[in-house]
Chain A
């Protein structure tokens, strides 16, 4: 019964989304207040029905209702409760439902927090989001029904892929999807502006906190995914340039460019066309990400759904969304009035250069990700493009962007002062050189790339600090937006330090170890004390004991495991990690070399990873900086005060009809 309710709720949701987008878009176009007024309640209703559907599926998983095909394939009675619920989005169908749920959450948020926006604007935004919901709901109902029955019911479920049985599964997908789908708000703002013809500073002010919010979720989602891969896959890597990772990283790059471009549109009324284009690209890449992950075209952990028919539906949907919005863009953007002028040396041009760099970097990532797929589709052979490609393209493109991020906040809007900038840059250069030369000394090994990384990190720290000092000296008001920007930029520095030091000074060894054997790595000694059998709720494991010491002092006792899950019979490596600010010690078990029970020798992999935690801490700083900026006072006070109205009038773009 419960699954049927869920299924029915989805159908009602589809009808509601259709009616809502038709009513509110027509209402906004024709100026019918009654139609426009339907936008908010309909969006809230859509949320209710999608939430009911999601709740029903979650309940089916929780109560192990194996008469639902999806549950029978992805769950098991022995699966712990938290993972039974997380398994709701472990399958293709469930993750689509999560996608739509997130979309309806964003729609609900827009309908609640948009009191200060003009009615027709809200109607258009919600109308566009409603259309996206129509696309995804019909995709789900016609090709991938999450509530499909299995009759007669299975006696026991097939269990969740052991790789996904991890706390990461509980948090990573919802966060990532919140970010992905969040760009639909920025996209809808952009489309609404194109339809309406109003593209001014107050439009930018309204859409900024939404875009930043989506960006925050995406940042956290990607960082969580990276952290999860690090400790779960047992290989000690934190980023693999896997196509699925790239699929989430590309919208992040464009989203980063977008939040900076929006800043210029809000403050200076410039870059309007550019901002709208970035908003369209960011959401298109989110859809492309969904397509890449969900169509099964990739050799990847994430491609657990392999069904090309669904891929074709998403591809068509993608073509309609991208083609439609770009056509609209080409048609309406001609009318945009140029923004305020600026000199070559100004904050505007720094931000423009940065967003172009981000766009180009994103293009290079996309080429590396899609090129093998194209070759394969055209029958021109099978190739793979691995991390070396991405490293050697991405790093040189991002390095200048980081240099610009260091000086951007030191340059005035409109017209910068070259002499002043050079004076300020002296300090940055000194700090950067110092960092680049001294830190490698401390590690006792120098490398060109190590120094470049540390140079960039010190440069951006110094730039951030200089911007803060200048702001304090000038007695200007300190606001959250400014502090958030500084924090996020400092986060880049922390991230760069983490990446540089891990890449330069990490060490690893694969070993054969019999009980009692000792190995040394990076100044630590590792003693292997054999393995013993343990059993978990739904797995049996061999748990090793490794004693880590430094100079005779015990640092950690690690217990890496090799698990065999009872249902799918797949072995799984659970690495053991001793975490620290300055280093992680990471041990994972391979397999028993000989059959000897307690005294068997095992293959063991040990890693020492200096400063790896800084990578994720840097991401958290960026996300928290975004949070500070998005909660700035000016977004909370009722918008459209007098001076805004004046500025808006100066730069307003009005379509001929209005």
Chain B
């Protein structure tokens, strides 16, 4: 084989590989990227109904309940403006606590509750998951903006 042919084969192989890799990446991104929504966004119906996403905020104090089966728990996630009830079946992470930050991944159910398949909590007591912190600060900012626009309003 001539060097020129060899080089052509090598280049073709390289381009094919990159194309395959790009196709794999795009395909995987399409199916597996998980978006994040705050309770306020969910209340505004911005979140999808049939797709997995993440919700974050604070676990409302006094909201944690355990169902009779002993495994399913319900709690309320709040960003201080709006709230969303969350249902999760399984063992909660060690650092899950009422009044602390949390991020849950799952789907919105027809009952209006968020059915979590995974619950992530902060890893040490000074640390808030960035997504949860983001949701809280955004809700605070919106509240502040509202109070300026309509003082004494809702």
Chain A interface residues toward B at CB < 8 A: 161, 163, 234, 299-301, 303-304, 306, 341, 343-344, 349, 353, 356-357, 360, 363-364, 367-368, 371, 381-386, 388-389, 392-393, 396-397, 510-512, 568-573, 588, 590-591, 593, 601, 603, 605
Asked whether B17 is an interface residue with its Cβ less than 8 Å from the other chain, the reply is: yes
| Complex contacts, A590 vs chain B, CB 8 Å | 91-92
Minimum C-beta distance from A378 to chain B (A)? 14
Q: B60: shortest Cβ distance to chain A, in Å?
A: 19
- The answer to whether the Cβ of B9 comes within 8 Å of any Cβ in the partner chain is yes
Query: Are A383 and B6 in contact, with the CB atoms below 8 A?
Result: no
Q: Given A299-B120, A389-B28, A389-B29, A603 and B34 touching (CB < 8 A)?
A: no
- B18 at the A interface (CB under 8 A): yes
Nearest Cβ in chain A — how far from B33, in angstroms? Answer: 5
Chain B: minimal CB distance from A86 (Å): 17
CB pair A568–B125 under 8 Å, yes or no, is yes
* B129 and A392 form a contact (CB under 8 A): no
Determine whether the beta carbon of A593 is less than 8 Å from that of B94: no
For the complex, give the distance between the alpha carbons of A303 and B33 in Å.
22
Question: Within the complex, which residue of B1, B33, B131, B134 is in contact with A344, where a contact is CB–CB below 8 Å?
Answer: B1
The answer to whether B91 and A510 have CB atoms under 8 Å apart is yes
B residues contacting A by CB (< 8 A) are 1, 3, 6, 9-10, 13-14, 17-18, 20-21, 24-25, 27-29, 31-36, 54, 66, 69-71, 89-92, 94-95, 103, 105, 120, 123-125, 127, 129-131, 134
Which residues of chain B are near A573, meaning CB under 8 Å? Answer: 94
In addition to A388-B32, A392-B31, A571-B95, 11 A-B residue pairs with Cβ atoms within 8 Å of each other are: A163-B124, A304-B123, A304-B127, A353-B13, A384-B36, A385-B32, A385-B34, A393-B21, A393-B25, A570-B94, A603-B91
Contact check, B131 vs A392: say whether CB atoms are below 8 A apart: no
* Alpha-carbon distance between A154 and B13 when the two chains are bound, in angstroms: 64
Query: Taking CB as reference atom, which chain A residue is nearest B123?
Result: A301
- State the Cβ distance, B49 to closest chain A Cβ, in Å: 18
Q: Are B33 and A385 in contact (CB under 8 A)?
A: yes
Alpha-carbon distance between A349 and B127 when the two chains are bound, in angstroms: 49
Are A512 and B70 touching (Cβ within 8 A)? yes
Complex contacts, B25 vs chain A, CB 8 Å:
364, 367-368, 393
Minimum Cβ distance to chain A for residue B105 (Å): 8
Interface pair A384/B17, CB less than 8 Å apart: no
A397 to B20, CA, bound (A): 9
Contact call A356/B71, Cβ cutoff below 8 A: no
Check A571/B94 contact, CB under 8 A, given A344-B10, A364-B21, A397-B24: yes
